[in-house]
């Protein structure tokens, strides 16, 4: 199959530090290429999603022209639209912004990765059951995100610290202050890693100390080392997290996840791979003390089974075939992404406290 992917224009591929969606695109492109598909990627100038794979080279010729990262995404997509090769499908990861793409007459799939995007007028997929539910799109396709394997490695014997990893420019919706409070209550070392976030940095500096400290943005080998050797990832999402690539990366490394249970965490986390603690720092502190009860090998097995790039790539190829065959209809209505805490059931009656499955619910093991 010939596949053209549109990446968001804000960050070149692959992302060096922050950029979960960009990592997903790189992982998918590489996995699909490895499976024998022809893949092109439309992305910001300077992108090199897979420098060693020649089959991706045309993508760089397409995107490395006169434009670079800028806010006018419509111009970004419109500029590329006329040069899209004769693909079987166009997969947009950047939101619907330009009708010129539709004029090519090539089937289109748009995957939404956030909670604040409008619904596009084309077949659309989401990145978790709860993400789909937040848009009120019962019955629409959803496929979990994936990870770049080179940024993960399994570590059976961790060091004696916990990690919070995310984008501080997102404000406190990633729960960094809950993580700091919980680590202090549990008396453990917490490394806070992520891109800087303006005024939130002053608040963060006020609560940090020698054992709870900000270490700046991390990526590449440093990220792989710090993440894989952490005793646990503290990820107290305070919003309806669509999927949470950091959570998937941690599990792939065998690192237990101590989360809030909101958004996709409600359907992904269970006692085998981590904890769901709500918003109470005392609950997090208890989970931190009990993190040794989680089998790190089980975390890695779960991640490989459900979130490995080859698994997710196969699911997308199956969805592409459905889109090409006209079996996937555009979303109904405008949708209303709310970004609120997950509830026990989605509007279509699926429970969220189950082990993740590619396209069907699977009962969790207690």
Q: What separation in angstroms does the CA of 133 have from each of 46, 115, 279, 343?
A: 36, 11, 22, 10
Which three-class secondary structure string do you get for 28-45?
HHHHHHHCCCEEEEECCC
Contact 8, 15 (CB under 8 A): no
Domains within the chain, CATH numbers bracketed: 2-147+310-324 (3.40.50.2000), 149-305 (3.40.50.2000)
pLDDT per residue, tens digit, the chain (366 aa), is 999 998 887 776 777 777 788 899 999 999 999 999 999 888 776 666 665 433 333 233 333 333 334 444 446 677 777 778 889 999 999 776 666 788 888 999 999 998 877 888 999 999 999 999 999 999 999 999 999 998 899 999 999 999 999 888 776 788 999 999 999 999 999 999 988 777 788 889 999 999 999 999 888 889 999 999 999 999 999 989 999 999 999 999 999 999 999 999 999 999 999 999 998 889 999 999 999 999 999 999 999 999 999 999 999 999 999 999 999 999 987 544 443 333 333 333 333 333 333 333 333 332
DSSP 291: G
Q: What separation in angstroms does the CA of 353 have from each of 105, 146, 201, 280, 364?
A: 41, 20, 34, 19, 7
Q: What separation in angstroms does the CA of 355 have from each of 175, 343, 362?
A: 24, 16, 6
Record the pTM.
Answer: 0.84
Residues 6+ apart with CB under 8 A from 1: 37, 38, 88, 89, 317, 320
Tokens describing residue 24: 């997903």
C-alpha gyration radius of the chain: 20
Cis, peptide link before residue 145, omega less than 30° from 0: no
Long-range contacts of 25-29, Cβ-Cβ distance < 8 Å, separation of 24 or more: 25/49, 25/93, 26/50, 26/148, 27/146, 27/147, 27/148, 27/149, 27/309, 27/312, 28/146, 28/309, 28/312, 28/313, 28/316, 29/5, 29/56
């Amino acid at each position: 199959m010939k596949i053209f992917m549109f990446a968001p224009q804000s960050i070149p591929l692959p992302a060096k530090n922050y950029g979960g969606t960009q990592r997903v695109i790189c992982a998918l492109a590489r996995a699909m290429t490895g499976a024998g598909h022809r893949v092109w990627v439309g992305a910001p100038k300077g992108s090199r999603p897979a420098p060693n794979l020649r089959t991706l080279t045309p993508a760089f010729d397409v995107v490395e022209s006169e434009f670079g990262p800028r806010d006018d995404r419509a111009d970004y997509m419109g500029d590329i639209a006329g040069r899209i090769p004769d693909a079987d499908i166009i997969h947009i990861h950047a939101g619907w912004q330009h009708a010129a793409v539709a004029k090519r007459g090539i089937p289109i799939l748009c995957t939404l990765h956030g909670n604040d995007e409008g619904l596009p007028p084309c077949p659309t997929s989401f990145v978790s059951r709860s993400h789909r539910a937040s848009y009120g799109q019962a019955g629409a396709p959803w496929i979990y995100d994936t990870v770049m394997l080179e940024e993960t490695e399994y570590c059976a014997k961790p060091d004696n610290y916990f990690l919070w990893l995310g984008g501080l420019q997102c404000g406190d919706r990633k729960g960094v202050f809950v993580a700091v409070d919980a680590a202090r209550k549990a008396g453990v070392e917490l490394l806070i890693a992520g891109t800087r976030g303006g005024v939130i940095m002053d608040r963060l500096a006020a609560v940090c100390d020698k054992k709870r400290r900000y270490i700046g943005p991390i990526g590449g080998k440093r990220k792989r080392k710090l993440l894989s050797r952490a005793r646990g990832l503290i990820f107290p999402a305070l919003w309806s997290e669509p999927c949470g690539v950091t959570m998937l990366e941690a599990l792939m490394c065998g690192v237990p996840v101590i989360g809030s249970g909101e958004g996709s965490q409600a359907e992904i986390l269970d006692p085998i791979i981590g904890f769901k603690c709500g918003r109470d720092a005392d609950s997090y502190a208890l989970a931190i003390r009990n993190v040794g009860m989680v089998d790190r090998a089980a975390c890695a097995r779960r991640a490989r089974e459900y979130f490995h790039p080859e698994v997710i790539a196969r699911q997308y190829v199956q969805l592409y075939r459905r889109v090409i065959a006209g079996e996937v209809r555009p979303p109904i209505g405008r949708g209303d992404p709310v970004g609120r805490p997950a509830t026990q059931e989605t509007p279509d009656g699926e429970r969220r406290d189950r082990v993740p499955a590619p396209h069907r619910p699977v009962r969790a093991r207690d």
